[in-house]
Amino acid sequence: MKKIRIYVHVPFCESKCSYCDFASFVCGEDLKQKYFAKLVQEICGCKYKDREVQSVYFGGGTPSSVDEKYIISVMKCLRHNFTFSNNAEITIECNPASESLDKLKKYRELGINRISFGVQSLNDNTLKFLNRRHTKKDAVEAIKDAQKAGFENISADLIIGVSESQEDLIDSAKQLLNLGVKHISAYMLQIEEGTPLYNAYQNNNSIVPSEDYCVGMYDRLVVFLTERGFCHYEISNFALPCYQSQHNLGYWRLDDYIGFGLSAHSFVDGVRFANSNNFNDYFEDKNITREVLTAQQKIEEKIMLGLRCQEGVSIKDLLNLGYDIMTNPNLSNFVENGIIILQKNGKTPDKITINPAYYGVSNSIIVKLLP
C-alpha cells in the first residue's frame, strides 16, 4: 500500500499576531461550523483513500482555538476514510492561551500523540511585542497540562530576531528543556508586508536587531541545544533522539502528502495542487491550482529541501531523476573546504550533507549545486 501524509488547515485564531501573514482569521461560530462541514466533505471526497497514513498535522491558524468537537469530527472522518499505520504521528498545534487540561485529554483520547506549542518566547516583554495572547505563565502551565494529559512528545516554537538579548533567548530554551520539552523549532522572525509589524518596521527599523546579531543568536542557540543532547536535524529544528517531527521530515524528503482546508497544499505522484486562500472560493471549489513538476523541478526541490536536513540528499535519488551531482564542479570545492560532507556506503559516496556550521549560508551553497 502506498504511503501518504495528511495536513489539515484550521484557519481560525482568537487574535492576530503582529508578524503573521498566514491564512488565518478571527471569526464567529457560524463560519467555523460552515468551514468544518466543508472540511469533512472534502476529506470524504478525497481520491487517495487507498494510501496508508504515516502522519497527520493539524496546523493553522490556531487549531486549539476552536471547540474540540470540530477536531473530533475531523479525526473521526479521517479514520473512517483512511487506513492509519500503527505508529502514525498525529500532531496538533496549540496556543498556550487557548488550551485546557480537559481539551488536551480529549486530544489524547483521539489518538493525537504529538503537540506543538507556539511558545515563541518565555519573556513577557517579547510576547507583548509580538501581540501574543499568552504569557510566560500560560506557556509553562500549558506544557505541564499536556504532560498531565499524557503527552510525552511535546514541541515548542521559539522566534529569533525579536529585540531581546541572547541571554533571554537561551533562558527561554533552558526553561523549556527543564520542563521536559523534547523538540524545539527556532525560526527567524520574518517581517512580512501587510502585517502590523511591517508597518511599525517601516517607521522604525531599529525595533528588530541587525541580521548579524540574529545570526549570533541562532549560533548560540545551536551550541546550547546540541551540548544538551539535541540533534540539529534540520536548519530550524532540534530534537532529542527519536523525537524528530516525522511529518515535517516527510515534506523535506518530498514524500506524498495531501492537504485539506483553506489554502492547503498537496503533493501527490509528482503533481502539486493547492486550495484557494479565499473563503468563498474554497467553499465553491474554485481557483484550485495544479502543477505537474518537471524532472528539473523535482531535482531542484530534492536538493533544496534535502540539504536543509542532517540526513542530506541521496546521490542515487538524483541520478534516478537524471542528475549526477558528483559532476558538479562546485561540489568538489565544497568538499575540500569542509562545507559539504560526503557520506559513504562502503567506499562509494551515498549522500551529501551541508556541514551544520554553514547552515546560516545554506541558500548560497544550495544554489551552486543545482544543475
**Per-residue pLDDT tens digits for 94-122:** 999 888 999 999 999 999 999 999 999 99
Q: Which domain holds residue 105?
A: 3-251
Last residue of a domain, one of 193, 224, 251: 251
Instruction: Report the pLDDT value the prediction gives residue 82, as an integer from 0 to 100.
Output: 97
Do 127 and 209 lie in a common domain? Answer: yes
CATH code at position 360? 1.10.10
Peptide bond into 61 cis (omega under 30): yes
Instruction: Write out the three cell numbers for 207.
Output: 525595533
Do 246 and 301 lie in a common domain? Answer: no
pTM, two decimal places: 0.92
Last residue of a domain, one of 221, 251, 281: 251
Do 233 and 342 lie in a common domain? Answer: no
331/187 Cα distance (integer angstroms): 28
Instruction: Report the pLDDT value the prediction gives residue 201, as an integer from 0 to 100.
Output: 46
Do 205 and 343 lie in a common domain? Answer: no
Cα-based distances in Å from 201 to 192, 195, 265:
10, 10, 30
> Taking a C-beta distance cutoff of 8 angstroms, is the pair 58, 12 a contact?
no
Task: Return the residue matching grid coordinates 540539504.
Answer: 307
Do 233 and 302 lie in a common domain? Answer: no
Position 260 in a domain? no
Position 214 in a domain? yes
Beta-carbon count within 10 A of 128 CB: 12
Position 257 in a domain? no
Q: At what angle do helices 166-178 and 211-226 cross, to 10 degrees?
A: 30
Instruction: Report the pLDDT value the prediction gives residue 294, as an integer from 0 to 100.
Output: 94
Cα-based distances in Å from 131 to 69, 94, 364:
27, 16, 33
Position 277 in a domain? no
Position 44 in a domain? yes
Last residue of a domain, one of 251, 276, 304: 251
Do 138 and 244 lie in a common domain? Answer: yes
Instruction: Report the pLDDT value the prediction gives residue 14, as an integer from 0 to 100.
Output: 64
CATH code at position 117? 3.20.20.70
The pLDDT averaged over each successive group of 10 residues in the chain (371 residues) is 95 62 66 95 95 96 92 97 97 92 96 96 87 90 97 96 85 97 89 54 55 85 97 96 97 96 95 94 94 95 95 95 95 96 88 92 94 92
Count: domains in the chain: 2
